């Protein structure tokens, strides 16, 4: 089929208009969606590479919209980051996880830590620490069960204020993960200056590792460097057995990816991994 540039332009224009339309619908529906509980929490297990078993989870939000169907995070997260609604979503997820962990601890089951994603817009919002305190008071739990994932790009250009915030969070007892590590432009300088507990190697490195010796070398060296710095490493996007074996060989601590387990509804995660003894 021969599509002329003119046709392509029309096609592109139509797609663009559809996206503009979709964006308007999303923004019109988001507040109601939150109160109607259309946002669902999924959890993806993180596996200890050595024992090949689940040790913690990551909370990932899903939007199952009555009007718009299933909307993927790539479609609404960037939009919410622009319009500020991400603060509400991040606090919804965080609060739900606190509440869930509190229940799990009371149920006397095995409990694994859970990490939640915090956008730059969320941590940069002036009332952030106060709002966090409110959640902590509402659902008091040992903070060793909660990790905050902040993307590397969100930390880029973070001035002294941002550094102070990270230090404050760690002093409160949260552990901090640097998400999508290696995807930004200042990975090494973020490592040098930022107080973090965990590094999550961006999934692109592992994806390329099947074909690129360079990517394997980079992963291996990030793992070694992190060990020397006392930082825990998670490699994201583990999709094959070979990739997991590679991570075992180089001594990477944790693996996250479809090969280990896909993100699943919270109830399924609890049923599968956190059985109540007896
Ligand atoms: P992320 O934080 O890097 O999360 C990992 C993403 O990789 C998830 O996509 C997960 O489903 C996907 N993934 C896991 N294993 C594999 C694998 O083996 N292969 C591949 N190709 N992908 C894998 P998801 O759930 O679609 O989320 C996309 C992004 O949306 C997240 O990337 C995160 O940046 C953002 N996000 C999700 N939930 C939240 C949230 O509650 N708050 C904020 N601020 N951002 C969120
Ligand atoms: Ca993440
Ligand atoms: Ca990531
Ligand atoms: Ca990401």
**2: pLDDT strictly greater than 70:** no
Higher pLDDT, 69 or 200: 200
**80: pLDDT strictly greater than 70:** yes
**67: pLDDT strictly greater than 90:** no
Q: How far is the CA of 78 from the centre of ligand 3 (A)?
A: 14
Q: How far apart are CA 84 and CA 18, in angstroms?
A: 22
Please count the CA atoms within 13 angstroms of the CA of 34 that sit on its side-chain side: 17
User: What digits encode the pLDDT tens for the residues 35-50?
Assistant: 999 999 999 999 999 9
pTM: predicted TM-score of the whole model, two decimal places: 0.93
Q: What is the mean pLDDT of the chain?
A: 92
Ligand lying closest to the C-alpha of residue 204: 1
**94: pLDDT strictly greater than 90:** yes
Q: At what angle do helices 128-138 and 160-172 cross, to 10 degrees?
A: 10
User: For residue 78, what pLDDT band results from cuts at 50, 70 and 90?
Assistant: very high
Q: What is the pLDDT of residue 161?
A: 85
Q: What is the pLDDT of residue 240?
A: 96
User: For residue 213, what pLDDT band results from cuts at 50, 70 and 90?
Assistant: very high
Q: What is the pLDDT of residue 152?
A: 80
Higher pLDDT, 95 or 187: 95
Phi, psi of 142 (to 5 degrees): -65, 130
Closest-lying ligand 1 atom to the alpha carbon of residue 61:
38
Helix (H, G, I), strand (E, B) or coil at 222: helix
Indicate which residue's Cα is closest to atom 30 of ligand 1: 73
Pocket residues: Cβ below 6 A from ligand 1: 44, 60-61, 72-73, 77, 86, 89-90, 93, 117, 119, 179-180, 203, 237-239, 256-258, 263
Indicate which residue's Cα is closest to atom 43 of ligand 1: 117
Higher pLDDT, 216 or 189: 216
Tell me the percentage of the chain whose pLDDT exceeds 90: 73
**3: pLDDT strictly greater than 70:** no
Q: How far apart are CA 62 and CA 41, in angstroms?
A: 6
Distance linking the first and last C-alpha atoms of the chain: 64
Q: What is the pLDDT of residue 116?
A: 98
Long-range contacts of 164-170 (CB under 8 A, 24+ apart): 165/123, 165/128, 165/129, 166/194, 166/195, 166/196, 167/195, 168/129, 170/195, 170/197
Indicate which residue's Cα is closest to atom 27 of ligand 1: 73
Instruction: Tell me which of 33, 64, 77 to substitute to probe ligand 1's pocket, judged by most ligand atoms within 8 Å of the beta carbon.
Output: 77
Q: How far is the CA of 109 from the centre of ligand 4 (A)?
A: 31
Q: How far is the CA of 143 from the centre of ligand 1 (A)?
A: 23
User: For residue 146, what pLDDT band results from cuts at 50, 70 and 90?
Assistant: very high
In this structure, what token pair is assigned to residue 154?
A: 């969100």
Closest-lying ligand 1 atom to the alpha carbon of residue 93:
41
């Amino acid at each position: 089929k021969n599509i002329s540039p003119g046709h392509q332009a029309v096609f592109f224009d139509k797609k663009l208009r559809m996206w503009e339309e979709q964006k308007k619908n999303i923004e019109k529906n988001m507040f109601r969606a939150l109160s109607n509980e259309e946002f669902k929490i999924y959890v993806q297990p993180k596996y200890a590479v050595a024992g090949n078993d689940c040790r913690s989870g990551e909370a990932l939000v899903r939007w199952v919209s009555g009007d718009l169907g299933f909307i993927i995070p790539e479609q609404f997260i960037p939009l919410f980051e622009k319009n500020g609604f991400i603060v509400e979503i991040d606090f919804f997820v965080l609060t739900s996880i606190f509440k869930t962990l509190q229940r799990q601890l009371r149920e006397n089951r095995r409990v694994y830590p859970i990490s939640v994603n915090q956008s730059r817009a969320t941590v940069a919002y002036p009332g952030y620490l106060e709002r966090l305190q409110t959640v902590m008071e509402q659902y008091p739990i040992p903070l060793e069960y909660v990790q905050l994932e902040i993307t590397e790009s969100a930390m880029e250009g973070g001035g002294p204020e941002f550094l102070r915030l990270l230090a404050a969070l760690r002093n409160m007892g949260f552990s901090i993960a640097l998400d999508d590590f290696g995807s930004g432009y200042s990975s090494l300088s973020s490592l040098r200056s930022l107080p973090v507990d965990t590094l999550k190697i961006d999934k692109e490195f592992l994806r390329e590792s099947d074909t690129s010796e360079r990517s394997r070398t980079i992963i291996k060296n990030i793992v070694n460097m992190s060990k020397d710095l006392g930082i825990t490493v998670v490699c994201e996007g583990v999709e094959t057995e070979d990739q997991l074996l590679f991570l075992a060989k180089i001594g990477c601590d944790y693996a996250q990816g479809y090969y280990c387990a896909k993100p699943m509804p919270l109830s399924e995660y609890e049923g599968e991994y956190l059985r109540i003894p007896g």
